[in-house]
Amino acid sequence: MVVLSLSIKGLRKLLSVYEHYANVYGLNKTEMLVFRAGKGPEMVPEVLLYGSAVRVVTEFKYLGHVLTEHLKDDYDIERERRALLIRCNMLARRFGKCSNPVKIVLFNAYCQCFHTCQLWTKFLKKSYTTMRVQHNDAFRILVGFPRYCSASGVC
């Protein structure tokens, strides 16, 4: 469950409702992420739940997307890049002896889908470039193309 508020006062009010709901359904994992737009507050007042301070975090994974306090997507791009590497290695190991048309269909099905990439709006060009290079390298390795071959034209 996510609770959003523009102020600490509003958050405290929402958490008092949440506290009752959490007791009924046995929810106990609670963290707080403060989004800092521009000059965010240096000190955030303490928020209590069940009489204890809620832990403040700088990043949080929600529905597979990594959110950070500065709303930058570099961490999420890196997470997806690593997941792409894992998927490509799995395809190369399990389907290495298949024909290239079969490998291309598998690559399109398992390695072309970047969950939550539509949410990427604020990132460094370096992060995006690293992801693109990883994608092209994975395709070349899977179909057995040499390193110097351009995978962009083939994809």
Q: What are the 10-residue block averages of pLDDT along the chain, 155 residues in total?
A: 84 87 80 78 80 86 86 89 90 91 90 78 90 88 80 57
Residue 69: inside a domain, yes or no? no
What is the predicted pLDDT for the residue at 153? 57
Pair 87, 51 in one domain: no
- Residue 14 φ then ψ, to 5°: -65, -40
8 Å CB contact between 136 and 145 = no
Pair 85, 135 in one domain: yes
Q: Which two tokens stand for residue 52?
A: 């204890």
Residue 88: inside a domain, yes or no? yes
State the sign of the Cα–Cα–Cα–Cα dihedral 147, 150, 152, 155: negative
Pair 80, 126 in one domain: yes
What is the predicted pLDDT for the residue at 46? 87
8 Å CB contact between 111 and 105 = no
What is the predicted pLDDT for the residue at 125? 92
Residue 1: inside a domain, yes or no? no
Number of structural domains found in the chain: 2
Pair 42, 84 in one domain: no
Pair 78, 19 in one domain: no
pTM, entire model:
0.71
What is the predicted pLDDT for the residue at 101? 92
Pair 129, 79 in one domain: yes
Pair 94, 147 in one domain: yes
Segment 128-139, tens digit of pLDDT: 899 888 888 888
